Chains A and B, each alone.
Chain A
Amino acid sequence: MSLLEVQDLSMRFGGVAALHQVGFVVEEGTITALIGPNGAGKTTVFNCVTGFYRPHQGSIRLHRPEGALELTELLGGPFRGRDFASPGAFFRRLKYKIAGGSHLAARAGVARTFQNIRLFRGMTVMENLLAAQYNRLNRHLLSGVLGTPGFARAEREGIRRASAWLEFFALLEDANRLAGELPYGKQRRLEMARAMCISPRLLCLDEPAAGLNPQETAELAGWIRRLRQDHGVTLLLIEHDMGLVMEISDHVVVLDHGEVIAAGTPAQVRRDPKVLTAYLGLDEPSP
Chain B
Amino acid sequence: MNRPVLAAMEPAAALGEAMRPGWIGALRQALLAGGVALLLFGPLSGVALQGYDFRAVPEAPWLLAAAVFCGRLLYLLGAETILGAALLRRLTLPPVTRVSSPGRDRRRRLLAWGIFAAAVIGPFLLFNPWYQHPNLNYLLKVAILTLIYVLLGLGLNIVVGLAGLLDLGYVAFYAVGAYAYALGHQYWGLSFWEAIPLGAALAGMAGVALAFPVLRMHGDYLAIVTLGFGEIIRLILNNWLAFTGGPNGVRAPHPTFFGLEFARVGKEGALTFHEYLGLPYSPVHRYFYIYLALMAVTGALAVTAIRLKQMPIGRAWEALREDEIACRSLGINHVMVKLSAFGLGAMAGGIGGVFFAGSQGFVSPTSFTFIESAHILAIVVLGGMGSITGVTAAAAALTILPELLRNFSDYRMLIFGLVMVVMMIWRPGGFSTPQRRGYPVEPGHVPA
Cβ-defined contact, B304 with A145, below 8 A: yes
Q: Can you identify 28 A-B contacts, CB atoms within 8 angstroms?
A: A50-B329, A52-B329, A112-B329, A114-B325, A118-B323, A121-B323, A122-B318, A122-B321, A123-B315, A123-B436, A124-B439, A126-B438, A126-B441, A130-B315, A130-B439, A131-B327, A131-B332, A134-B316, A138-B312, A139-B311, A139-B313, A161-B447, A165-B447, A166-B441, A167-B447, A175-B439, A194-B330, A195-B329
Binding site for A on B (CB under 8 A): 97, 99, 101-102, 303-304, 307-308, 311-313, 315-316, 318-319, 321-323, 325-335, 436, 438-448
Q: Closest CB-CB distance, B194 to chain A, in whole Å?
A: 21
Cβ-defined contact, A159 with B332, below 8 A: no
Cβ-defined contact, A131 with B97, below 8 A: no
Q: Determine if A246 is an interface residue (Cβ-Cβ < 8 Å).
A: no
Cβ-defined contact, A139 with B99, below 8 A: no
- Known: A114-B326, A176-B438. Contact between A167 and B443, CB under 8 A? yes
Binding site for B on A (CB under 8 A): 50-52, 101-104, 106-107, 111-112, 114, 118-124, 126-128, 130-135, 137-139, 141, 144-145, 147, 151, 156, 159-161, 163-168, 172, 175-178, 194-199, 231
Cβ-defined contact, B312 with A127, below 8 A: no
18 additional contacts, CB 8 Å, given A163-B442, A176-B102, A178-B99? Answer: A50-B329, A103-B327, A104-B331, A106-B328, A107-B331, A119-B322, A119-B323, A121-B322, A124-B438, A131-B319, A131-B332, A134-B312, A134-B330, A159-B440, A167-B447, A177-B99, A195-B330, A198-B331
- By a CB distance below 8 angstroms, the chain A residues around B334 are 101, 103
In angstroms, Cα B319 to Cα A133, docked, is 12
- By a CB distance below 8 angstroms, the chain B residues around A127 are 315, 318, 436, 439
Contact of B442 among A111, A121, A147, A160 (CB under 8 A): A160
Q: Closest CB-CB distance, B180 to chain A, in whole Å?
A: 22
In angstroms, Cα B329 to Cα A106, docked, is 6
Cβ-defined contact, A175 with B441, below 8 A: yes
Contact of B312 among A122, A126, A139, A163 (CB under 8 A): A139
- By a CB distance below 8 angstroms, the chain B residues around A112 are 329
Cβ-defined contact, B99 with A103, below 8 A: no
Cβ-defined contact, A119 with B441, below 8 A: no
Q: Closest CB-CB distance, A48 to chain B, in whole Å?
A: 13
Cβ-defined contact, B439 with A120, below 8 A: no
- By a CB distance below 8 angstroms, the chain B residues around A168 are 447
In angstroms, Cα B327 to Cα A118, docked, is 9
Cβ-defined contact, B319 with A123, below 8 A: yes
In angstroms, Cα B102 to Cα A138, docked, is 21
- Known: A106-B331, A134-B315, A138-B312. Contact between A118 and B442, CB under 8 A? no
In angstroms, Cα B198 to Cα A76, docked, is 36
- By a CB distance below 8 angstroms, the chain B residues around A134 are 312, 315-316, 319, 330-332
- Known: A137-B312, A159-B442. Contact between A145 and B447, CB under 8 A? no
Cβ-defined contact, A118 with B325, below 8 A: yes
Q: Among B102, B315, B441, which residue has the most Cβ atoms of chain A within 10 A?
A: B441
- By a CB distance below 8 angstroms, the chain A residues around B330 are 103, 106, 111, 131-132, 134, 194-195, 197-198
- By a CB distance below 8 angstroms, the chain B residues around A199 are 448
Contact of B329 among A114, A137, A144, A161 (CB under 8 A): A114
Cβ-defined contact, A103 with B333, below 8 A: yes
In angstroms, Cα B327 to Cα A112, docked, is 11
Cβ-defined contact, B312 with A164, below 8 A: no
- By a CB distance below 8 angstroms, the chain B residues around A176 are 99, 101-102, 438-439, 441
Which chain A residue lies CB-closest to B386? A122
- Known: A103-B334, A124-B439, A160-B442. Contact between A119 and B326, CB under 8 A? yes
In angstroms, Cα B447 to Cα A164, docked, is 5
In angstroms, Cα B445 to Cα A168, docked, is 10
Contact of A124 among B99, B304, B329 (CB under 8 A): B99
- By a CB distance below 8 angstroms, the chain B residues around A178 are 97, 99, 436
In angstroms, Cα B337 to Cα A135, docked, is 12
In angstroms, Cα B442 to Cα A156, docked, is 9
- Known: A134-B332, A141-B313, A175-B439. Contact between A164 and B445, CB under 8 A? yes
Cβ-defined contact, A231 with B447, below 8 A: yes
Which chain B residue lies CB-closest to A151? B311
Cβ-defined contact, B328 with A52, below 8 A: yes
Q: Closest CB-CB distance, B437 to chain A, in whole Å?
A: 8
Q: Closest CB-CB distance, A49 to chain B, in whole Å?
A: 12
Contact of B439 among A51, A122, A126 (CB under 8 A): A126
Q: Among B330, B436, B444, which residue has the most Cβ atoms of chain A within 10 A?
A: B330
In angstroms, Cα B326 to Cα A114, docked, is 8
In angstroms, Cα B312 to Cα A137, docked, is 7
User: Sorted from nearest, which 9 A-B pairs have the closest CB atoms?
Assistant: A106-B331, A120-B322, A144-B311, A164-B447, A118-B326, A176-B438, A102-B328, A131-B319, A164-B445
Which chain B residue lies CB-closest to A199? B448
- Known: A102-B329, A176-B99. Contact between A163 and B315, CB under 8 A? no
- Known: A52-B328, A194-B330. Contact between A172 and B448, CB under 8 A? no
Q: Closest CB-CB distance, B384 to chain A, in whole Å?
A: 13
Cβ-defined contact, B313 with A144, below 8 A: yes
- By a CB distance below 8 angstroms, the chain A residues around B322 are 119-123
- By a CB distance below 8 angstroms, the chain A residues around B441 are 126, 159, 163, 166, 172, 175-176
In angstroms, Cα B330 to Cα A178, docked, is 19
- By a CB distance below 8 angstroms, the chain B residues around A103 are 327-328, 330-334
